[in-house]
Amino acid sequence: MTAENKPELLGDLDIGADVDHVFLVTDIQKRSTKDGTPYLTMLLRDRSDSMKAVLWTFIEAAHGDIRKGDFVHVTGSIGEYNNQPQMKVNRLEKAPDDKISIEDFLPVTPQDRAKLWEKIRFLLNEIHDPHLRALVDGLLGDEKFIDKFSRAPAAVVKHQPYLGGLLEHTHNCVRMAKALSMIYPFVDRELLVVGTFLHDVGKIDEYAYDKQIEFTTVGRLKGHLVMGVEMVRRAAGKIDGFPEELLLKLEHMVLAHHGRLEWGSPVKPLFLEANLLHFMDNMDAKTFMFREASGTGRPGDEWSQYSRSLERFVYLGDGDAAD
């Protein structure tokens, strides 16, 4: 069975189920038993879940070239070890990846990405300042930028950590920016909307997301705030006469949107639009975290499992876990 045939997802397989699937290898270790017999431990995943797997019949000639990031065809069964599901692998071989879509193996936003872009573009089309308009038009006309922005996650773990997560998060924040500008008419709407659109742009290169969602080397060394400022400055540099003060404000919004020094921003928000951006960014991220934590409760539970991201338990109500 191949990924092309859309097999049952890993998250749907119960203890005792047979396995005949293609998975993505996200970790692999060669180990030895006490008597020196080699075996493999792996972490295998599809878009629904990941699971530990063990191949006891390791053969160097057949399995020695399998690496993290490879697609593998596995036959075996779902067992249990230390009260956790574990896959017993009977047969393991590399799977050709020419017909495989990575979106079958990594989690993906549940939102329609074309519709998210449609709503973002609608709001950006309301920008009339010639320099801001030239800035966003330049980015929206860059196919490579659009492709990366459409696929990038918003994070590795904490919020929207899936393909398309950055687009989803940015869409939510840009729509909040428009709403806030209507509630508070003294806000510079165009600066707020464009700064919000750009605030996480560095994440398109901070993360790798071709075979696994993880930090790139440059992303780990610089971080998306610095990388975002660099991207904004490069884009503005292509526009004749781009006002230095306007560029400085956009750069500050990118750098300050985490809101606090201890949260990673080198400066606190120092003007209204930058401060509103911080709260919108935090609101969308925290909303996702609360929703995710609420989903960890079992039917009848009053409280969720402990959320490390929120550093708390989440109250589910009168014994009915949230759907």
Least confident of 109-113, 124-128, 151-155, 300-304: 300-304
pLDDT at 322: 45
pLDDT, tens only, 11-31: 888 898 999 889 999 899 999
pLDDT at 2: 42
CATH level 3 topology of 106-290: Hypothetical protein af1432 (1.10.3210)
Report, as an integer, the average pLDDT of 65-74: 89
Tell the residue number behind the tokens 């996650």, with chain if given. Answer: 153
pLDDT at 210: 87
Contacts 24+ apart (CB under 8 A), 307-311: 309/157, 309/158, 309/159, 310/286
pLDDT, tens only, 103-120: 888 889 999 999 999 999
Tell the residue number behind the tokens 């840009």, with chain if given. Answer: 174
Distance CA 137, CA 244 (A): 19
pLDDT at 321: 45
More confident: 227 or 48: 227
Across the chain, mean pLDDT equals 91
Report helix, strand and coil shares of the chain as percent, to nearest 5.
40, 20, 40
Distance CA 180, CA 191 (A): 12
Distance CA 216, CA 63 (A): 27
Q: Strand 50-55 relative to strand 18-32: parallel, antiparallel, unpaired?
A: unpaired
Q: How confident is residue 270, by pLDDT bands cut at 50, 70 and 90? A: very high
Least confident of 93-107, 117-131, 183-197: 93-107
pLDDT at 273: 98
Domain spans of the chain, in order of start = 3-102, 106-290
pLDDT at 69: 86
CATH of domain 3-102: 2.40.50.140
Distance CA 213, CA 295 (A): 22
pTM beyond 0.75: the answer is: yes
